[in-house]
Structure formats: structure tokens, C-alpha cells
Amino acid sequence: MTKEDILNGQVVLIDKPLKWSSFQAVNKLKYALKNHFDLPKKFKIGHAGTLDPLATGLLIICTGKFTKSISEIQAQTKEYTGTITVGATTPSYDLETEVDATFPSEHITKILIQETVTQFLGEIDQKPPVFSAIKKDGKRLYEHARAGEEVEIQSRKTTIYEFEITRFALPEIDFRVQCSKGTYIRSLAYDFGFALNSGGHLTALRRTKIGAYSVENALSPDDFVENLNHEN
């Protein structure tokens, strides 16, 4: 990789660690590339699709002219794996907030789960979580939520292409999902719990693919920087 490569445009696949923000990962690469190649202060770099701090996995980072491809990459099908824990809900639909309600889960069987999965295949209506970055009345939803303000959230159409249960060990249910842009896996976990006549929240999430890009070909931010320092 050369200075010209970075300025002309590169696609870098990063495996985002747990508890890192997407912004942190981009900043780590930006700082390392800028210092290593003596790049101009405002060289172009950005990511194609945010991952929550509590999620791990594929973060696509584009530099230079390739930043123009970001919206095109974001529009591609995404694949996630993760864990839904049934019998309880949280306001954020994941582990960012504490459990706010508990529900029976003893009635949940493998058969019930497989029957329920089919309700979520194809085009579905989904409400984004109240703890999300979507803007409403000039503020992000999570800002309203943290201030204790109730806001009306409109549901939106999204498409689930594949929804496979990969492990059944109550209260945990592991899954693999392929979905369209704009799908909230936290909302899917929450809605799935209620469809099982229980409750559910997301307790693990990993993005494994965006279009043809796979996390198998990605490096952690630290490994990327280490490799960079070993070049030249």
C-alpha cells in the first residue's frame, strides 16, 4: 500500500472489536495512515455503515475517491450472527440498558421457534429502537430516550432474506440473518421475543458480510496498524 493508493482510494476491511465505536476504528486508521504516509490533514476516509459499540465484526473503511462508493456499499445485503436471550426485554433492545420486564419462556420449543421464524421472512414492518441514531425533531432518538422523552417512532419496511436458528439453548437462541439495508437486528430480537409470546433482547451481535465483502478477510484495527508499521 502506498501514499498514492490511499489518496486514489482503498477499501479496508476491519473486524471491529467489542466496545469500540465505528468512529474510534476510523480514527485509529486515519491517525496511523496520516502519520505513516505523511498524508494531508484532511484526506478522505469514512466507513460504510455504523456498527454499535456492543457489536463486533465487519466495518468497511474507504479512503480517497472510494469514499464516493460508501452509499453503494451500504445498500448491499448484510449478514449478521448473534444471540437473542428470551424471557426478558430491555429499553435499548440489547445490553446497553438493564432488564425492564421479564416474561415466561418455558413454553418455547424448537418447533415454536421454527414456526415463528417464518413470520419474519420477506418484507416486514419494523420500528427502529428508541435507542438509535435516527433523528426526530432535530435530535437523535437515543438523546430523546436518555432524556426520558417519549417520541412516536414510525415503522419502516425492511427485508429479511434468510433467518436461520443455529443454536437453541434457552434462554439463548443463536441465529444467522441476511437482510436489507436499514434493518435493526435489535428490533428483530425484540419483535421475535414477543412473537414467541415472551420477550427478547439482543445479547451478542457480529456482522459477518456486506455484499461480497466478508469479515474473514478483515483485520482488527491494531493488526492493521501493526502491519502498516512493518511495511517499508
With cell 420477506, the residue in question is 122
How many whole angstroms separate alpha carbon 192 and alpha carbon 115? Answer: 11
Per the confidence metrics, is the pTM higher than 0.75?
yes
Which residues, 6+ apart, have CB-to-CB distance to 176 below 8 Å? 79, 80, 81, 162, 163, 164, 166, 208
How many whole angstroms separate alpha carbon 82 and alpha carbon 208? Answer: 10
pLDDT value, residue 138: 62
pLDDT value, residue 190: 96
How many whole angstroms separate alpha carbon 194 and alpha carbon 104? Answer: 11
Contact 165, 111 (CB under 8 A): no
Single-letter amino acid code for the residue at 202? L
pLDDT value, residue 154: 78
pLDDT in tens, 67-92: 999 999 999 999 999 999 999 999 89
Contact 181, 76 (CB under 8 A): yes
pLDDT value, residue 61: 96
pLDDT value, residue 169: 96
pLDDT value, residue 5: 87
Q: Which positions are annotated as active-site residues? A: 52
Spatial CA neighbour of 80 closest among 110, 106, 59: 59
pLDDT value, residue 146: 60
> Averaged in consecutive runs of 10 residues, what is the pLDDT profile of the chain (232 residues)?
88 96 94 91 90 94 93 96 97 92 96 96 89 58 58 83 97 98 94 97 98 97 91 65
How many whole angstroms separate alpha carbon 23 and alpha carbon 39? Answer: 19
